[in-house]
Structure 1
Amino acid sequence: MEDEQIRIYDHNRKSIGVTTRKEVHSVGYWHEVFQCWFVRRENGIDYLYFQLRSDVKKDYPGLLDITAAGHLSADESVEDGVREIEEELGIKIEYKELIPLSIIQASIKRESMIDNEIANVFLYKNDKPFDAFNLQKEEVAGLVRADLNDVYDLWIGKREAVNVQGFKITNNGEKVEMNETVHKNHFVPHEDSYFRTVFKEIKQQLSL
């Protein structure tokens, strides 16, 4: 995976070449990613879905993250990114079923990595029960959902925690119910501005 070829860009989103995924993160080149957030309206409440990253993931193991997301290889278009949904969640969705939200430049910086992403963000209105998902065990250890309004309030400072419900897969492969109270530090540390922007856009889209 570290040798995967990734197209890189300057600050104006102009392509400046291709390099390895390892080099992308060590230097901090801007690169494209595909992101899809699942939402479901049930009993008048809009629920936002998060994947639980596997404990064996190199980056951010055991944290909650975007429903489905991944890097775009050098030879892939944004439309090709829809493969991430089937790979990670085990359900097949066509690109035309997705609702485009926005393209956001976002960064996560750590001592060992600079992740400068050009995020192509989409929304999917989910009508599938939890039992329909077949998670990629090397990548995803669970799937949960939370009240969208509560999650938005968490990131604008109106509350300190939210409840998430769903399921996770134990190390021995057992599927167990997950019902927990989580805080901001339980999520992958995307920039606060990223979460606020995306959650606001999702709320606006659902109000149309």
Structure 2
Amino acid sequence: MPEMLDIVDENGVPTGQSVPRTTAHAEGLRHRTSHVWIVRRKNGRVQVLLQMRCAAKDSYPGCYDISSAGHIPAGAEFVGSALRELREELGVTAAPADLHECGLRRFRFEAEFHGKPFKDNQVSKVFCLWLDREAEDFAVQKSEIDYVKWFDLDEAVAAVEQGTIPNCIFPEELGMVKKFVGQTGGGC
């Protein structure tokens, strides 16, 4: 059975209609995702964990991306989906209270991947999670992720803005992470 997604309004509220994920991306129908940025303080600097998307991904294969992100299945909610994606993609078990909400993002884009048009129209809730764990200690989901790597947050922002690493990260979203870190004093 195909993965079903709720079609949502501009605030991420379901409209009562659900469609297969492939239909949402073929037609550019608005749906929801949860984005979790894992951050830590190391050697006096804030670092952010980025994942390298595997070559088989339906969009942006071989690009650095958010620590953990995923579509929200029909009937599910932002926080529950964020926690599920953390477990599935990285082997991280967290509680709802561990997630710090950074805001809501809306975006649309169109591209072509693997010879097929791809129309994305998302309402994403952005979270941060403080977690100090070495990259090799994450249990990455090999069907989705090649590996994870820690980046100095400021260096990651510059690399994304300047395009010096292959990525599918929106600079505004890394800005939300920087704002959160600044508000929390760079610690848990």
- The TM-score normalised by the length of structure 1 is 0.78
Pick closer, same or farther for the CA change 1:48–1:191 going to 2, 3 Å.
closer
Pick closer, same or farther for the CA change 1:7–1:90 going to 2, 3 Å.
same
Q: How far, CA to CA, are the matches of 1:44 and 1:55 in structure 2?
A: 34
What does residue 74 of structure 1 align with? 74
What does residue 104 of structure 2 align with? 103
Q: How far, CA to CA, are the matches of 1:141 and 1:198 in structure 2?
A: 26
Residue 115 of structure 1, aligned match among 104, 120, 126 = 120
Aligned length: 180
What does residue 141 of structure 1 align with? 146
CA contact (8 A) 2:37 2:177 kept: no
Q: Could you list the runs of 5+ residues in structure 1 that have no partner in the other structure?
A: 162-182
Q: Could you list the runs of 5+ residues in structure 2 that have no partner in the other structure?
A: none
Q: CA deviation at 1:191?
A: 4.1
Identity of aligned residues (%): 27
What does residue 187 of structure 1 align with? 167
Counterparts of 1:17-32 in structure 2 under 5 Å? 17-32=17-32
| Larger gyration radius, structure 1 or structure 2 | 1
Q: How far, CA to CA, are the matches of 2:159 and 2:8 in structure 1?
A: 32
- The TM-score normalised by the length of structure 2 is 0.86
CA contact (8 A) 2:10 2:123 kept: no
What does residue 92 of structure 1 align with? 93
Q: CA deviation at 1:192?
A: 4.0
Q: How far, CA to CA, are the matches of 2:136 and 2:8 in structure 1?
A: 39
CA contact (8 A) 1:54 1:139 kept: yes
Q: CA deviation at 1:5?
A: 1.1
CA contact (8 A) 1:8 1:19 kept: yes
CA contact (8 A) 1:108 1:191 kept: no
Q: How far, CA to CA, are the matches of 1:129 and 1:143 in structure 2?
A: 10
